[in-house]
Amino acid sequence: MKMSLVVRTTTKLIAPFLVTYGAYLTIYGYESPGGGFQAGVLFAVSVILLMTAYGYRRTKKHFPLRTVQLVESASALWVVGIALIGLAFGAFFLNFLRLYIPGGTVMTFNIGVALKVGTSFVLVFYVLSRWVDRD
């Protein structure tokens, strides 16, 4: 089903702001309420909004299934890797980067969680849209 010009234009205007706010929550989530999960939901909502306005096939061209799966898997490895590297420094999820990066491992953990949550929600909607697309 093709959406109207108003819906498609509004979606095209809103989606970049959602991604920007998601990036803000990812980066500054260690200082204020928010963090990786909320940012990931915003990333997913922007893609799902585009999927709703432009359709499954057109959105899938810009966000291929293989790429989404690859980012989802890599982000899971990223989160586990941060935990294990912290274990090497003495404790599980030890904040060993706080001297070098603002927020330390909390911010890097938020980046991994945001990518994991965002791509997971997009994958769920891809699977559901593929099922609907057949009928």
pLDDT in tens, 27-74: 887 777 778 899 999 999 999 999 889 888 888 888 899 999 999 999
User: What confidence score (pLDDT) does residue 89 get?
Assistant: 80
Calpha distance 107→132 (Å, rounded): 37
Calpha distance 19→25 (Å, rounded): 10
101-118 pLDDT per residue, tens: 777 788 888 899 999 999
* 5 vs 98, residue with greater confidence: 5
Do residues 43 and 19 touch, judged by C-beta distance below 8 A? yes
Angle at 113 between CA 70 and CA 12, to 5 degrees: 75
Percent above pLDDT 70 for the chain:
96
Q: How would residue 99 be classed by pLDDT, with cut points 50, 70 and 90?
A: confident
Distances in Å between the Cα of 121 and the Cα atoms of 14, 39, 92, 127, 128 are 19, 12, 27, 10, 11
Calpha distance 123→8 (Å, rounded): 22
- In the chain, the amino acid numbered 47 is V
Q: How would residue 76 be classed by pLDDT, with cut points 50, 70 and 90?
A: very high
pTM: 0.83
Residue matched to tokens 């709703």: 52
Evaluate if residue 135 carries a pLDDT over 50: no
| Residue partners of 47: CB distance under 8 A and separation at least 6 | 59, 63, 118, 122, 125
